[in-house]
Amino acid sequence: MQNKSSFNSMFPLSLEQIDFLKDFEKNGSTIQFAWLSGYFWNLANQNSSNVETKTSTFSLEKKKTNNIITILSASQTGNARLLSERLHKYLNDNNQQACLISSSDYNFKKIKDEKLLILIISTQGEGEPPEEALSLYKFIMSKRAPKLDNLKYSIFSLGDSSYDLFCQAGKDFDKRFCELGATQLLNRLDADIEYEEEYVKWSKELLILINKTVTPCSSFLKKNLVSDSETSVYTKYKPAIATILNNQKITGRNSSKDIRHIELDISNLNLKYTPGDALGVWYQNNSDLVNKILKLLSINTSDIVTVKNKNKNIFDALKNNFELTNNTKNIVNKYTDITQNKFLKEIIVDNKKLESYVKITPLVQMISDYPSKISAQKFVSILRPLTPRLYSISSSQSENNDEIHITVSVIKKNISGYLHLGGASGYLSELLNIGDKLKIFIEKNDNFRLPQNKQTPIIMIGSGTGIAPYRSFMQERDNDGSVGRNWIFFGNQNFTEDFLYQIEWQKYLKKGLLTKMTLAWSRDQKDKIYIQDKIREQGKEIWEWIKENAHIYICGNASKMAKDVEKALLYVIRKYGNMSLEGSNEFVNNLRLQKRYQRDVY
């Protein structure tokens, strides 16, 4: 018979620990087993997951220092993260020791111990907080949120005024902090797309107030901590120049969708990306569209306008500096105010009519329907600045070292016999040829990452171009020695026309890398079938994967697909985990905290 010491040398658990586990097994429930498996998995992986983070400006938790200033970054497209990094550097350069933390890594249960909190947050979807701030949001809005009587805070809220719920996430946090007893150090600032001047002014005012609250530490030794974005050669405003290698339509000729697979050559660029990242693309407006608008408004192409304190001709300004494809309620209101058009006046007084009008009427169509003579400068004053588009990267650098791939759905609207294309998708699909140049940058997304443990199973859920990041995931797992099981749920309209990357998935299935692929075709039968239907149908097996520590990923439309899928997952967890609605929500939130439930939604 083995003695205790020889047993301990062969197994990671002692006899006493095994006896304890056996006793617990007799009385424990399924939900308790599932929760503990995730809990201990998270503990086991903490050391390895912290290695990379410690070299970044972002810390998983506040170190034992004299920091009493915490900067929380809550970003969706990277803007809030970049501003948070700038503020962190600005405060430290001015002898204020601040701790910078991503809201996804923040131990929000310790918020009651904060003295001075600065939140820089964006708003996404229908007035919702960014994905990485969802757990913090749910906690702070719940009954479990603590009193914050000792907290002083300030919020810089990023948004887009063309949406009804402008900067709503920042407003929600501001209101809730006040309800919990916190005090504003500086009034919340709601910033639109062009926020630079407002940010600079806000940060200077904030520093003055912080200096009155916290004594500056002149002897503070600034740590040489830099983030990926600071060390990268290329940024949003200093993009790389890539070359088009391939621009291929990957939907069938009878498909209602035009989806492109685009490959870019980055062999001469020091450009690094990770599966889950997005590619930022700077585009130009179509010259024909620019000329049509100018003609309708009786504006000469050589007329000079001022853009960001620089003079340029109106043609170049509209081609490179302003959004011309997305109409907004603000634009309609401003155009009506300038033209005093009686038909538009009738529309803007009814918010529902205005919302409907904006959805179906591109900017050029409105101008075509109600043309007017306007000065060049007055016209650009009503427009939104052109901003880059982000596309999920659909390749892994492990497999495509000198290339980067994206999957682009071309936006098309046929109105009154005129084809209207999306700004970026039209540029990428119709105006660029093989060999042409494109301005790009990498937008990191640390909240959509493969598990570090290569044995961990993953479930990937996406519809349409939401399949893109999973192509990069599978390429990565094919090249890094991962042995974890892989299951994809994919939905689109028709099997024969819209099965994106079909041959590649079949290859992975044959190879055994892809364990299972569950498909949902909404238009191939009388009754529409969606991904969420398949999730409910496969619920028992999904629950088994969850109990085995599977990571779940969702990529797609935030307001439709992602919400329906989450409802279906909650149903599965309630049914097979024998939980209440509240319990299933808590379970999903725990998965999110363990980085086992990640979404890339838009």
pLDDT in tens, 89-118: 999 999 998 999 999 889 888 899 999 999
- In a domain? residue 294: yes
Cα(333)–Cα(339) distance, rounded to whole angstroms? 10
Query: Which residue matches tokens 């204020």?
Result: 96
8 Å CB contact between 494 and 523: yes
Mean pLDDT of 227-231: 44
Considering the domain architecture, whether residues 420 and 551 belong to the same structural domain is answered as no
- The strand pair at 551-556 and 597-601 is best described as parallel
Chain-centroid distance of CA 563 in Å reads 15
Higher-confidence position of 193 and 188: 188
Estimate the crossing angle of helix 581-593 against helix 134-141, to 10 degrees.
Answer: 140
Closest C-alpha to 286, from 410, 370, 374: 410
- The strand pair at 152-158 and 116-122 is best described as parallel
pLDDT at 563: 92
Cα(284)–Cα(426) distance, rounded to whole angstroms? 10
**Residue 419's pLDDT band (cuts 50, 70, 90):** confident
8 Å CB contact between 58 and 105: yes
**Vertex 474, ends 531 and 73: CA angle to 5°?**
80
- Indicate which CATH number applies to the domain containing 211: 3.40.50.360
- Mean of pLDDT over the chain: 88
Closest C-alpha to 588, from 579, 597, 580: 597
Considering the domain architecture, whether residues 516 and 580 belong to the same structural domain is answered as yes
- In a domain? residue 125: yes
Closest C-alpha to 439, from 368, 386, 396, 476: 386
Closest C-alpha to 300, from 290, 308, 309: 290
Supply 487's token pair: 């299951």
Cα(295)–Cα(97) distance, rounded to whole angstroms? 56
Q: List the domain range (segments joined by +) for residue 415.
A: 232-283+388-443
Query: Which residue matches tokens 């910078």?
Result: 100
Mean pLDDT of 413-424: 87
Q: Is 269 exposed, middle or buried (0-12, 13-18, 19+ CB in 10 A)?
A: middle
Supply 55's token pair: 């070299």
Considering the domain architecture, whether residues 168 and 258 belong to the same structural domain is answered as no
pLDDT at 43 over 70: no
Cα(109)–Cα(113) distance, rounded to whole angstroms? 9
Length of the chain: 602
Cα(205)–Cα(498) distance, rounded to whole angstroms? 53
Considering the domain architecture, whether residues 140 and 167 belong to the same structural domain is answered as yes
- In a domain? residue 137: yes
Mean pLDDT of 467-488: 97
Query: Which residue matches tokens 């997951």?
Result: 49
Query: Which residue matches tokens 């030794």?
Result: 221
pLDDT at 552: 98
pLDDT at 60 over 60: no
Mean pLDDT of 433-450: 95
Other CB atoms within a 10 A radius of the CB of residue 265 amount to: 16
Cα(272)–Cα(579) distance, rounded to whole angstroms? 43
Considering the domain architecture, whether residues 519 and 555 belong to the same structural domain is answered as yes
pLDDT at 463 over 60: yes
- Indicate which CATH number applies to the domain containing 464: 3.40.50.80
Mean pLDDT of 212-241: 66
Considering the domain architecture, whether residues 268 and 409 belong to the same structural domain is answered as yes
Supply 342's token pair: 């009686």
Cα(330)–Cα(381) distance, rounded to whole angstroms? 11
Q: pLDDT for 558-575, tens place per residue? A: 878 999 999 999 999 999
Cα(181)–Cα(215) distance, rounded to whole angstroms? 24
Higher-confidence position of 356 and 229: 356
8 Å CB contact between 167 and 190: yes
**Residue 421's pLDDT band (cuts 50, 70, 90):** very high
Residue 127 backbone zone (phi > 0: left; psi -120 to 50: alpha; other: beta): left
Residue 535: what residue type?
I
Other CB atoms within a 10 A radius of the CB of residue 306 amount to: 13
Cα(596)–Cα(265) distance, rounded to whole angstroms? 33
Q: Give phi and psi for 223, each to the nearest 5.
A: -80, 145
Considering the domain architecture, whether residues 372 and 237 belong to the same structural domain is answered as no
pLDDT at 32: 60
Considering the domain architecture, whether residues 301 and 172 belong to the same structural domain is answered as no
Other CB atoms within a 10 A radius of the CB of residue 72 amount to: 26
Q: E strand or H helix at 136, and its extent?
A: helix 134-141
Mean pLDDT of 498-523: 97
pLDDT at 8 over 70: no
Q: Using the CB atoms, write b or e for 345-376: b if 16+ within 10 Å.
A: eebbeeeeebeebbeebbbbbbbbeeeeebeb
Other CB atoms within a 10 A radius of the CB of residue 195 amount to: 18
Q: Report the domain count for the chain.
A: 4
- Complete DSSP assignment for 296-313: HTT--TT-EEEETTEEEE
- In a domain? residue 561: yes
pTM of the model: 0.83
Mean pLDDT of 132-145: 92
- In a domain? residue 408: yes
Local structure of 172: helix, strand or coil:
helix
Give 283's strand partners: none
pLDDT at 62 over 80: no
Considering the domain architecture, whether residues 253 and 197 belong to the same structural domain is answered as no
pLDDT at 70: 94
Q: pLDDT for 325-344, tens place per residue? A: 989 999 999 999 999 999 99
Considering the domain architecture, whether residues 415 and 493 belong to the same structural domain is answered as no
CA dihedral 496, 497, 498, 500 (to 10 degrees): 80
- In a domain? residue 153: yes
Considering the domain architecture, whether residues 127 and 221 belong to the same structural domain is answered as yes
8 Å CB contact between 130 and 88: no
- In a domain? residue 355: yes
Considering the domain architecture, whether residues 420 and 477 belong to the same structural domain is answered as no
Cα(481)–Cα(484) distance, rounded to whole angstroms? 9
Cα(328)–Cα(324) distance, rounded to whole angstroms? 11
Local structure of 557: helix, strand or coil:
coil
- In a domain? residue 267: yes
**Residue 59's pLDDT band (cuts 50, 70, 90):** very low
Cα(206)–Cα(392) distance, rounded to whole angstroms? 35
- Indicate which CATH number applies to the domain containing 246: 2.40.30.10
**Residue 41's pLDDT band (cuts 50, 70, 90):** low
- Indicate which CATH number applies to the domain containing 336: 1.20.990.10
Cα(505)–Cα(487) distance, rounded to whole angstroms? 11
Task: Calculate what percentage of the chain has a pLDDT beyond 70.
Answer: 86
CA distances from 134 to 322, 387, 462 (A): 32, 25, 20
